[in-house]
Amino acid sequence: MPTRFGAYMRTLRKQRGLTLKQVEQSAQVSNAYISQFERGLRNPPHPDILNRLAKVYEVPARELMVAAGYLTDDAEAEKRRNIEKAYAHVVSDPTYHHGTRIRDAHISLDVKRFIIEMYEKTTGRKLLESA
Amino acid sequence: MDPEVTIDQPLTLRGYCEAAFSKHSKSWPPSESALADEFISYFHFKEFVTLDYLQNLCQKLEMTIRIEELPKGIRGYNHAYGNKREIVVGTAGPRATVLGSQEHTLLHELREQIEYEFRKSGHPVAGPYDQEDRAETFASSVRSVASMKGLETLVGDISEIKSGWARFGAILLMVIMFLGYSFTCIALPQWEDKL
């Protein structure tokens, strides 16, 4: 049965439209091994391998480390909560209108932070400090 | 190519929206290609769309334009607050620049600002679910329609060539370049991710 980590890694790969073979070639990690940890048959890989996979999946390596349980996510979760809260404020402000040309439907945390910064700069209101 | 935009009277986004509405009110909402035609006509486009040309136009519309590195995942951003309007276009790789990625993005963002004007005037065109697709179509259409204007200028220049063979060669080259350019205008959004 897939673990949470395995399901997460599989989702990342699928979102980028990559096959196991393609990831194998780019990250120099055996496709059989990738398939196994995606299906929960193996423990999360070594941080060195996660670093290589992070590059292929274009996500911060820290994100994979946290998902694999190598790093604690308390600080990250707090930061994420603050950003989500501030972002919710930005999108619900009827006086502020914004739009983006986005690569896919998913708005990453970095993009949300950027939008908040734009909002803060334009409106003169500080959200992240008080969030 | 002269990037200077010649505007005899103050042209505004609101003015453009009013012109588009008065022309298409019977079949509202109009298609993006109809809006692109109106855009080319209202803002007197005479040449192929270049980044300089668009930046100049936006400045005349009192819109701040910035080109800078954007977080991974977005190519452009636009926002409006009170009277402030700004568009940020992401830096593009060399191949994407050749294909006009930044021009496309700027037009996409401009289209979203236009939608904001349409909404303010009580005549929205796009809904929340098709706004992105519409902005993409608008950007492709404007570049494609503007290239027709550029083509008209080129045809004028070619007609002055006296040698028959040279004129034929120039026309052939122009047709090939035009078809290639039009194709990149339409196909750019599909290619960008691979560049």
Residue B7 has pLDDT above 60, yes or no: no
Q: What percent of chain A has pLDDT over 70?
A: 93
Residue in the block written with tokens 């930046």 = B55
Tens digits of per-residue pLDDT, B119-177? Answer: 999 999 998 888 999 999 999 999 988 888 777 777 777 777 777 788 788 888 878 87
Reference B56, options B113, B99, B1; nearest CA is: B1
Residue of B nearest to A94 (CA): B81
Which residues in chain B touch residue A115, judged by CB atoms under 8 angstroms apart?
77
d(CA B89, CA B68): 6
Which residues in chain B touch residue A102, judged by CB atoms under 8 angstroms apart?
73-75, 132
> Any CB–CB contact under 8 A between B134 and chain A?
no
Q: How far is CA B139 from CA B2, B101, B181, in A?
A: 21, 10, 14
Predicted ipTM of the assembly: 0.78
Q: Residue A76: its pLDDT value, please? A: 73
Who among A97, A101, A114 is closest to B116 (CB)?
A97
Which residues in chain B touch residue A118, judged by CB atoms under 8 angstroms apart?
77, 79, 86, 88
Helix or strand (DSSP H, E) at A4: helix A4-15
d(CA A34, CA A53): 10
List the structure tokens of A58: 């274009």
For chain A, count helices (H), then strands (E): 7, 1
Q: How confident is the model at residue B1 (pLDDT cuts 50, 70, 90)?
A: very low
Q: How far is CA B122 from CA A24, B12, B82, B115, B119, in A?
A: 54, 17, 18, 11, 5
